[in-house]
Amino acid sequence: MPLRGSRRFARLTAALAAALSAVVLAGCGYISEPLPPALRRPMPVTDLAAVQRGDKIIVQFTIPKLTTEALPVQNEPDVDLRIGPAPAGAFEVPAWERTSARVPDVAPRKPRAYVEVPLAKYVGGDVVLALKVNGPKGRNAGWSNFVRLTVVPALPAPEAVAAKDGPDSVLLTWKAAAREFRVFRKLVAEPNWSLIGDSVTAPSYTDSAIEYGKTYQYFVQSVQKAGTAYAESEMSATITFAPVDRFAPAVPAGLTAIASVRSVELVWQRNTEKDLASYAVYRNGEKIAAGLTAPAYSDVAAKPGVSYSYQVTASDMAGNESAKSLAVAAAIP
């Protein structure tokens, strides 16, 4: 009896193993080939940009985060940034590679790299820049986009930048031995600068987009067209200025007086200043009305048979009052 039980158990165990093996084979079909090892080549850079600024060429690009296998770049990659003369005629990579030189000590800063290249030996010619990002064992996915620059002598930065109040504006002046400029502005409390004047051809600029009660900062930069791009100077010193409204509105024009049975009706042209606050009316040199928001007034206190001389003024929100308009005469019959 014990022997027969052991044989039966062995047969059941063998059958179960066969069934499990069949299930595994049916589910997998076959064993796949092992995958090749990942090359870990960083993706090529596609946003390489360069500009001449002062006595340097400023190069910027984004450090790749992924490899060509869509794996994370584990360590800081080796950046092979090169600059060389632009070959004569059609651009060919092999010809450029033979004459290009590697920029030393390129330490990428993530996520945006910033590199300064002295330009002295390239002045007066065209250069081409490109880079490769090397992964382990020097593997890379090829060159980035190529950038071509025409290098000119370093431009002088503007000096003695000054600001003063103008009518609803800030008047900027500076000194620089250059023919073209850019003007930048920001509010003191804001982090980012805005370009407000491009291709300015005189050493002065009028900023008419100001608001009283706010404090602004400005700097100026010399620029020069060089090939298809612009060479830039270093930025001027930054100045801070809080504009103050010191200028009255224009004298109201077109004053007309029409006498009716019981009043003298006055109308004039509306002023266009953005900070206009009100008008005032003068009769025989004395103010008879103020705080008017419409360019019209009805003098119901005028007496019949008396000739009056009328003038009007305009005032802004800061209380600056214009000179009196030309006088007009009227009398109720």
- How far is Cα of residue 242 from the mean position of the Cα atoms in its chain? 22
> Residues 175, 220: contact at Cβ < 8 Å?
no
Taking Cα atoms as reference points, which of 183, 192, 133, 134 lies closest to residue 161?
183
280 pairs with which residues across the strands?
A: 313
Q: Exposed, middle or buried by CB within 10 Å (0-12, 13-18, 19+), for 126? A: middle
User: Which tens digits make up the pLDDT trace of 261-305?
Assistant: 999 999 999 999 988 999 999 999 999 999 999 999 999 999 999
Q: Do domains 49-150 and 159-241 have the same CATH topology?
A: yes
CA angle centred on 85, ends 80 and 89, rounded to 5°: 120
Looking at residue 8, its pLDDT comes to 57
pLDDT band at 88 (very low <50, low <70, confident <90, very high): confident
262's CB contacts (< 8 A; 6+ apart) are 300, 332
pLDDT band at 75 (very low <50, low <70, confident <90, very high): confident
In the CATH scheme, what is the homologous superfamily, with its name and number, of domain 159-241?
Immunoglobulins (2.60.40.10)
Looking at residue 22, its pLDDT comes to 47
Q: Give domain limits for the chain.
A: 49-150, 159-241, 256-331
309 pairs with which residues across the strands?
A: 329
Topology of 49-150 in CATH? Immunoglobulin-like (2.60.40)
CA angle centred on 267, ends 262 and 273, rounded to 5°: 150
Amino acid, res. 246: R
User: Which tens digits make up the pLDDT trace of 105-128?
Assistant: 887 666 789 999 999 999 999 999
pLDDT band at 13 (very low <50, low <70, confident <90, very high): low
Q: How many CB atoms lie within 10 A of CB 85?
A: 15
Question: What is the rounded CA–CA span in Å between residue 132 and residue 135?
Answer: 10
59's CB contacts (< 8 A; 6+ apart) are 48, 49, 50, 81, 103, 113, 114, 115, 116, 117, 129
Please tell me what DSSP assigns to residue 284: T
User: Which tens digits make up the pLDDT trace of 143-180?
Assistant: 999 999 999 999 999 999 999 999 889 999 999 999 99
pLDDT band at 87 (very low <50, low <70, confident <90, very high): confident
Looking at residue 5, its pLDDT comes to 54
Question: What is the rounded CA–CA span in Å between residue 98 and residue 92?
Answer: 11
Q: What totals of helices (H) and strands (E) does the chain contain, helices first? A: 2, 22
User: Which tens digits make up the pLDDT trace of 215-239?
Assistant: 999 999 999 999 999 999 999 999 9
If you average pLDDT over residues 177-191, what whole number do you get? 96
- How far is Cα of residue 171 from the mean position of the Cα atoms in its chain? 22
How large is the greatest C-alpha to C-alpha distance in the chain, in angstroms?
A: 149
Taking Cα atoms as reference points, which of 225, 228, 229, 52 lies closest to residue 123?
52
pLDDT band at 24 (very low <50, low <70, confident <90, very high): very low
pLDDT band at 74 (very low <50, low <70, confident <90, very high): confident
Q: Exposed, middle or buried by CB within 10 Å (0-12, 13-18, 19+), for 1? A: exposed
Under CATH, which architecture does the 256-331 domain have? Answer: Sandwich (2.60)
Looking at residue 1, its pLDDT comes to 42
Looking at residue 23, its pLDDT comes to 42
66 pairs with which residues across the strands?
A: 72
Q: State the chain's mean pLDDT as an integer.
A: 90
